[in-house]
Amino acid sequence: SQTIHQWPATLVQPVGSPLSLECTVEGTSNPNLYWYRQAAGRGLQLLFYSVGIGQISSEVPQNLSASRPQDRQFILSSKKLLLSDSGFYLCAWMRHTEAFFGQGTRLTVV
Amino acid sequence: KQEVTQIPAALSVPEGENLVLNCSFTDSAIYNLQWFRQDPGKGLTSLLLIQSSQREQTSGRLNASLDKSSGRSTLYIAASQPGDSATYLCAVLYNNNDMRFGAGTRLTVKP
């Protein structure tokens, strides 16, 4: 069966520090992968999606970047975090147009 | 602009009551619609997926309907239980591989 792993679960980082969140999918090949951010009390905002290795589409201009170094690995990064980067980050993959989500990372920038 | 709206934002009901959550979307050129459940501080759990050619899907006490022409979907929960308390999110997948979410309905079922 397919599973999606996302870590860490929680993270507290100072302003200006770098960020790296990792997401991996098991049990499938060539999945479409997604990074979403959920602000408190709001819906999910699509940040990046990828249909293959090295292929990244960005939805909104921001302080973040994404990379897909391997087929089932999706990484969300920042060189210098801002206070506004705080939020709940979710990774997802899609199978036959049905989306499945990881457990999320709660990022607090202080 | 592709927007997804969920009404109400919050709902509190007594245990055993049947309830309906609403989702509307502005662009009817959808590929499918998916309902999720989110517990506090957790990821999303898929509940039901309705393809654009379908009218409804059922899973246990849950029934989701889709009216693509009017841009609406409903999630019906029968005989609600305290364990159903969570935030329910509606997501619309558009043909361009773009999934848009509503802000969710926070449901509280009181014992």
Indicate the residue of A32, A34, A106 with minimum beta-carbon distance to B41: A106
Residues of A in Cβ contact (< 8 Å) with B42? 103-104
The span from the CA of B30 to the CA of B71, in Å, is 9
Q: Closest residue of B to A42, CA-based?
A: B103
If you average pLDDT over residues A52-77, what whole number do you get? 90
If you average pLDDT over residues A66-72, what whole number do you get? 95
Smallest Cα–Cα separation from B82: which of B106, B103, B109? B109
Q: What are phi and psi of A85, to 5 degrees?
A: -80, -10
Indicate the residue of B34, B51, B97 with minimum beta-carbon distance to A49: B97
Q: Closest residue of A to B90, CA-based?
A: A43
If you average pLDDT over residues A88-98, what whole number do you get? 89
Q: What are phi and psi of B82, to 5 degrees?
A: -55, -30
Taking the Cβ of residue B97 and every Cβ of chain A, the question of whether any pair is shorter than 8 Å is answered with: yes
pLDDT at A1 exceeding the cut of 90: no
Residues of A in Cβ contact (< 8 Å) with B51? 97
Question: Would you place residue A61 in the very low, low, confident or very high pLDDT band (cuts 50, 70, 90)?
Answer: low
Indicate the residue of B46, B51, B103 with minimum beta-carbon distance to A99: B46
If you average pLDDT over residues B84-89, what whole number do you get? 97
